[in-house]
Amino acid sequence: MAPVLGVRYEESTAIPFKATTSLASYIPGRSIVPKHDATYEYEDLKPSFSNKKWPAYAEVPYDDKAHRGSPAFTNLLATATDIFDYNPKVGTKSTASTSQHSPDAAKNELALLIATSGRCYRSFLWHLDAPYELQPSSYTSLKVLKVPPRGGGGDTLWSSQHAAYDALSTPMQNYLESLTALPSSHMQAEGTLAAGRTVGRDPIVTEHPLIRSHPVTVWKALFCNPGFVTQIVGVPKVESDVIMGYLNEVVATTQELHVRLQWGKDDVAFWDNWVTNHSASYSFAPYRRRAGRVAVQAERPFLAPDARSQEQELAREYGLPAVNKDGSKQSHCKD
């Protein structure tokens, strides 16, 4: 549901910012809102809805370029002046320059970085895109063309599904690994019809594992989207609903899973739709926010026999202590 505008917003032709005169005049949460011009520079990028119908997708071969990337990232970082991780579990920012003219080796390493880190910078409900597809998308890029002013909202958040899996108890992990779910596009299609638009491709229901493995890292990840999953296969609906509610709670409220990007104009983010969920923050109304997205069709999700936990593998590699999941040895709180 779109935010409702109240009296806290006022019309102005000024460039929007928080304090218009001095810090002494600052009022928390009160924004100055510009009038929108009759012409819009990104008019051609506004959503459009065709009446064309498309055939259902058929399964196609998939080859992940990340398999060819060097774990030293030598080519990708050749032009970088800085790189750092926002969060040990998810999110990396790099100043490396990568474009369509970059050598294939650098692009392969970028794919490997995204596969390893979950998402890489240059920001509704937590969700991954189109989980109902036979072969859901993997690497996804978003370039933001128009953003609210600083402090105007419109951030994007991502959560690591590797870390979501690792946040579960071992019995719960084992149980979920035995289950599959049924994501459906029917609700999306019904919304399209209700809006008087054409459903471009017939709605489908597809069976996918609740726990999948990444084809490059072979790390296990939660693979579910509560907004699209209609049922967990082979369990009573009440049990299915409880499980999906719990998994959504883990994704939405476990802070160490999350990373957040406050967008700047022309910022570009890449993320791995296989193993991250994302959520837009809709606090930017009435400012405009415009972006262009490109996604890669990937393989059909599966759980490999040799799949492993990201947390356990990194703990072994770096000699980290075992995670105390139940908090039984926690002696104090940290702020």
How does pLDDT run across 191-206, given as a tens digit for each residue?
A: 888 888 888 788 878 8
Check 68, 129, 197, 260 and give the catalytic one: 129
Check 8, 36, 67, 293 and give the catalytic one: 293
Tokens of 254: 């476990």
Determine whether 122 is an active site residue. Answer: no
| Residue 22 maps to a domain | no
| Residue 252 maps to a domain | yes
Determine whether 127 is an active site residue. Answer: yes
User: What predicted TM-score, i.e. pTM, was given to this entire model?
Assistant: 0.66
The whole-number pLDDT of residue 238 equals 94
The whole-number pLDDT of residue 172 equals 97
| Residue 70 maps to a domain | no
The whole-number pLDDT of residue 327 equals 67
SS3 state at 134: coil
Q: Report the domain count for the chain.
A: 1
Whole-number Å distance between alpha carbons of 105 and 89: 25
The whole-number pLDDT of residue 218 equals 93
Compute the radius of gyration of the chain from its Cα atoms: 22
| Residue 126 maps to a domain | yes
| Residue 333 maps to a domain | no
Whole-number Å distance between alpha carbons of 46 and 144: 13
Kindly provide the b/e burial profile for residues 247-256, where b requires at least 16 CB atoms within 10 angstroms of the residue's own CB: bbebbbebee
| Residue 12 maps to a domain | no
Check 119, 127, 258, 289 and give the catalytic one: 127
Tokens of 27: 């009022």
The whole-number pLDDT of residue 126 equals 60
| Residue 110 maps to a domain | no
Cα 97 to the center of its chain, rounded Å: 22
Whole-number Å distance between alpha carbons of 317 and 219: 14
Check 162, 208, 212, 278 and give the catalytic one: 278
Determine whether 129 is an active site residue. Answer: yes
Low-confidence ranges of the chain (pLDDT < 70): 1-37, 79, 81-82, 84-102, 114-115, 117-130, 151, 283, 327-335
The whole-number pLDDT of residue 1 equals 40
| Residue 185 maps to a domain | yes
Specify the CATH number for the domain of residue 284.
Answer: 3.60.130.10
How does pLDDT run across 265-297, given as a tens digit for each residue?
A: 888 888 888 888 888 777 677 778 888 888 888
The whole-number pLDDT of residue 42 equals 75
The whole-number pLDDT of residue 12 equals 40
The whole-number pLDDT of residue 21 equals 47
Boundaries of domain holding 301: 122-318
Angle at alpha carbon of residue 323, lines to 244 and 115, rounded to 5°: 65
